Amino acid sequence: DGGITQSPKYLFRKEGQNVTLSCEQNLNHDAMYWYRQDPGQGLRLIYYSQIVNDFQKGDIAEGYSVSREKKESFPLTVTSAQKNPTAFYLCASRIQGMNTEAFFGQGTRLTVV
């Protein structure tokens, strides 16, 4: 079955540590996105990539980094520079250049302890 997979579902991090969230898709989609959701908030775009080896900052990129070395994978690193990392993180993918929907993973809940 084709889909988009985020792992892990729950993640705990100590303050000052970097942590990497995984996002893998087998839908052959060019475009991938990372969003953050806080309680009572909408989905805010962190980074997005429209093609392998290229990515752009979204609206709240500070304290985050990404890579896009393979079409299937778009990992997100939450660095120690991110002041409020506790949130629900969502990854999505879609066909680039066409009017089509984005498909989402099930999300990763990151908690800083």
Partner 1 sequence: DQQVKQNSPSLSVQEGRISILNCDYTNSMFDYFLWYKKYPAEGPTFLISISSIKDKNEDGRFTVFLNKSAKHLSLHIVPSQPGDSAVYFCAALGTGTASKLTFGTGTRLQVTL
CA dihedral (20, 105, 51, 69) positive or negative: positive
Q: How far is the CB of 45 from partner 1 (least distance, A)?
A: 6
Which residues contact partner 1 (rule: CB under 8 A)? 6, 33, 35, 40-45, 48, 50, 56, 58, 88, 90, 92, 94, 99, 101-107, 109
Judge contact between 33 and 48, C-beta under 8 A: yes
Nearer to partner 1, 49 or 82 (CB): 49
CB 48 within 8 A of CB 30: no
- Pick between residue 61 and residue 80 the one whose CB is nearest to partner 1: 61
- Least distance to partner 1 from the beta carbon of 104, Å? 3
Token output for 77: 């690193």
The CA distance from 107 to 36, in Å, is 9
**CB of 55 vs partner 1, minimal distance in Å:** 11
Q: In terms of CB distance, is 6 or 82 closer to partner 1?
A: 6
Q: Is the dihedral of CA 39, 44, 47, 48 positive or negative?
A: positive
